[in-house]
Amino acid sequence: MLKKLLLATAVTTSLFGSAAALAADKPILNASYDVARELFAEINPKFQAHWKAETGKDLKIDQSFAGTSRQAQDIIQGKKVDTVTFNQVTDVDILAKRGLLRKDWAEQFPNHSSPYYSTTAFLVRKGNPKHIKNWDDLARSDVKLVFPNPKTSGNARYSYLGAWLYANEAFKGDEAKTKAFVGKILHNVENFPTGGRGATVAFAQNGQGDVLLSFESEVVNIAKGEEFNSAEFEVIVPPVSVLAEFPVAVVDKVVDEKGTREVAKAYLDFQYSKDIQKLLTTYHYRVQDKEVAAETAGQFQDLRLIDPTDVLGSWDEITAKHFDGNAILDQLLAEGR
């Protein structure tokens, strides 16, 4: 009798285990940029509820946050990431060049696979004691800056490109003057953390520097949020800055190995939904949905955005000239530090 009872219990447990397994999808891992923690802490539960309603299945979403160049290198070295939600096109491109995802990844989702965008803005101390208004103020000898290392952070590469594009216009395309201007800005950097969140902590918590350069979304969240003493800071949005797109992609090699393509694609599609587009604006991202953008236009300062590829060529050309080994960024860092 005891044997029959134990056998029945084992069979029942096995059946319940099998049913639970059938009611859950394989977990997915999303790799994102360093300052995206709070955003995806809201997006992921919303998608899990959506997926459960659509399929009846539970889903576990694992997250990884770091500078996107570091994330890309981790994926190249074997990290099993299903989706990337990055802040730099070049860091997705390198995955495509390594055969980890399709070369036409930017055509797989709307708006060049960028559900939202931002720009580089400045965070200063209360009262703006250094009277920071525009990019040229960042090159003054009395101003100390904090932003992430452009070698590891997509966020920082946009700060670099914002300075370059501003100077390129101001000096009417004179590359020598533009290079010297950007060199002064790099020389003024007091701290070069590897990622955007490290830069935020250095400036807002540790008191380093006079100006933090980061995405508009990040600096506004600091100034209005509860994590840091927001009363101590002011946001400065320069009149001209860089267009910073936030590309997303399915890592084809991984999802085909794991059998997670359907859920990975649905996860990225979900970021274009009106619900998430509205959520993004609460984190001070600018969105692609025209209705949501119109409804929330009042919360964003007017400025002129420059697309780097309209001025400096393709991202491959920009990378080769500015960010590859011994390119302009390395030259300026070697000269100034």
Tell me the average pLDDT across 128-146: 98
Higher pLDDT: 11 or 334? It is 334
Is the model's pLDDT at 122 over the cut of 60?
yes
Q: What is the CATH number of domain 2-116+245-299?
A: 3.40.190.10
DSSP annotation string for 213-276:
EEEHHHHHHHHHSSSS-GGGEEEE--SEEE-EE--EEE-HHHHHHHT-HHHHHHHHHHTTSHHH
Q: Is this structure's pTM higher than 0.85?
A: yes
Instruction: Calculate ∠ Cα 136-138-143, nearest 5°.
Output: 135
Q: Which CATH number fits domain 120-241+307-336: 2.60.40.10, 3.40.1410.10, 3.90.1150.150, 3.40.190.10?
A: 3.40.190.10
Is the model's pLDDT at 300 over the cut of 90?
yes
Query: What is the per-residue pLDDT across 242-294, written as a single tens digit (0 to 9) for each?
Result: 999 999 999 999 999 999 999 999 999 999 999 999 999 999 999 999 999 99
Tell me the average pLDDT across 50-74: 95
Query: What's the confidence (pLDDT) of residue 193?
Result: 87
Q: Where are the domains positioned within the chain?
A: 2-116+245-299, 120-241+307-336
Higher pLDDT: 9 or 213? It is 213
Query: What is the per-residue pLDDT across 107-116, written as a single tens digit (0 to 9) for each?
Result: 999 999 999 9
3-state secondary structure (DSSP) of residue 210: coil
Measured distance CA(183)–CA(269) in Å, rounded: 40
Tell me the average pLDDT across 165-179: 98
User: Could you tell me if 236 and 131 are in contact, meaning their C-beta atoms sit under 8 angstroms apart?
Assistant: no
Closest CA to 235 of 157, 148, 118: 118
Quick one: pLDDT band at residue 221, thresholds 50, 70, 90?
A: confident
Is the model's pLDDT at 227 over the cut of 80?
no
Query: What's the confidence (pLDDT) of residue 192?
Result: 85
3-state secondary structure (DSSP) of residue 85: strand
Closest CA to 323 of 157, 117, 140, 207: 157
| Identity of the residue numbered 298 | G
Higher pLDDT: 21 or 188? It is 188
Measured distance CA(163)–CA(188) in Å, rounded: 13
Mean pLDDT of the chain: 91
Tell me the average pLDDT across 31-55: 95
User: Could you tell me if 86 and 92 are in contact, meaning their C-beta atoms sit under 8 angstroms apart?
Assistant: yes
**Cα 178 from chain centre:** 26
Is the model's pLDDT at 77 over the cut of 70?
yes
User: Could you tell me if 327 and 320 are in contact, meaning their C-beta atoms sit under 8 angstroms apart?
Assistant: yes
Is the model's pLDDT at 153 over the cut of 90?
no
